[in-house]
Amino acid sequence: MPMFEYRCHDCSQTFEALVRSSETAQCPSCQSQTLEKLISVFAMSGTSKQGGSSMEASAPSCGPSCGCGPASC
């Protein structure tokens, strides 16, 4: 089962859920199914082939002035 990150449109709660393709995710706070699937930034174990840290390997490619957070890039 894949892990997805969601944001609830009704209560703005952000959460992760294991969801099978035949199931629909549901907000744990308000039980709404009106959700937005987010693009998750995940950490890779070890170091990248370029010799950087795992955080550098998974960091978003946007600049510091974009104002986005880890879950919104």
Strands (DSSP E) contained in the chain are 3-8, 14-18, 35-38
User: Is 23 within the bounds of a domain?
Assistant: yes
CA dihedral 49, 39, 59, 50 (to 10 degrees): 10
Distance, in Å, from the CA atom of 66 to the CA atom of 73, rounded to the nearest integer, reads 9
In a domain, 18, yes or no: yes
Q: The whole model's pTM is what? A: 0.52
Domain assignment of residue 35, yes or no: yes
Is residue 8 in some structural domain? yes
Q: What is the pLDDT of residues 16-58, one digit of tens each?
A: 988 888 888 999 999 999 999 998 666 445 545 555 444 444 4
How far is 50 from 71, CA to CA, in rounded Å? 24
Structural domain range at position 23 = 1-42
The CATH number of the domain where 2 resides is what? 2.20.28
Domain-embedded: residue 21: yes
Total structural domains in the chain?
Answer: 1
pLDDT digits (tens, 9 = 90+) for 1-20: 578 899 999 999 999 988 88
